[in-house]
């Protein structure tokens, strides 16, 4: 299957690559179907590209690229909604906001995207942990990770 995207032009994907968000993403509840795109294997960033509105794509990152000991504890309702059988098969991403001043780039560690890689169901959850911020600055963290592997 093919879609014409705003940021990447024509993109081919398989039906089994589609990630379904039953409730959409907060603020984008009408968008239910997405695919993950990697633009460059050397960057920690990926794109969560909407199939429903090809003008919409979220920049995402593995939160552990920013905070090494980042942890998500899933409640029973989330496990049930995503039909998670094995916690080793979940993917966790944070949505990134890239403003005009790139040094002010942030990641939402408070509300990660959770994807069950076994059935491609996803949802954004809210974590009850005051250590994680909605606008966590990431450029400094990424530079530190590069110099301290």
Q: What is the 3-state secondary structure (H, E, C) of 3-62?
A: EEECCCEEEECCHHHCEECCCCECCECCCCEEEEECCCCCCCEEEEEECCCCCCEEEEEC
Residue 147 host element (H or E): helix 139-147
Q: Which domain holds residue 135?
A: 2-147
Q: What mean pLDDT is predicted for residues 50-55?
A: 96
CATH code of 73's domain: 2.30.290.10
The neighbour count for residue 28, using CB atoms within 10 Å, is 16
pLDDT bracket for residue 42 (50, 70, 90): confident
pLDDT bracket for residue 31 (50, 70, 90): very high
Residue 2 host element (H or E): strand 2-5
Q: What mean pLDDT is predicted for residues 113-131?
A: 95
pLDDT bracket for residue 148 (50, 70, 90): low
- Specify the pLDDT at position 149: 56
* Total domain count, the chain: 1
- Average pLDDT score, the chain: 92
- Specify the pLDDT at position 139: 80
């Amino acid at each position: 299957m093919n879609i014409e995207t705003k940021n990447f032009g024509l993109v081919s994907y398989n039906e089994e690559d589609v990630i379904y968000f039953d409730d959409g993403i907060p603020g984008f509840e009408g968008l239910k179907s997405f695919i993950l795109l990697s633009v460059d294997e050397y960057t920690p960033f990926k794109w969560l590209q909407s199939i429903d509105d090809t003008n919409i794509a979220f920049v995402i990152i593995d939160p552990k690229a920013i905070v090494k000991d980042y942890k998500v504890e899933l409640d029973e309702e989330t496990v049930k909604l995503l039909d998670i059988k094995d916690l080793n098969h979940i993917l966790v991403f944070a949505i990134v906001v890239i403003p005009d001043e790139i040094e002010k780039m942030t990641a939402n560690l408070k509300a990660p995207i959770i994807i069950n890689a076994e059935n491609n169901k996803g949802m954004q959850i809210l974590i009850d942990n005051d250590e994680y911020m909605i606008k966590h600055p990431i450029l400094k963290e990424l530079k530190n990770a590069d110099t301290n592997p």
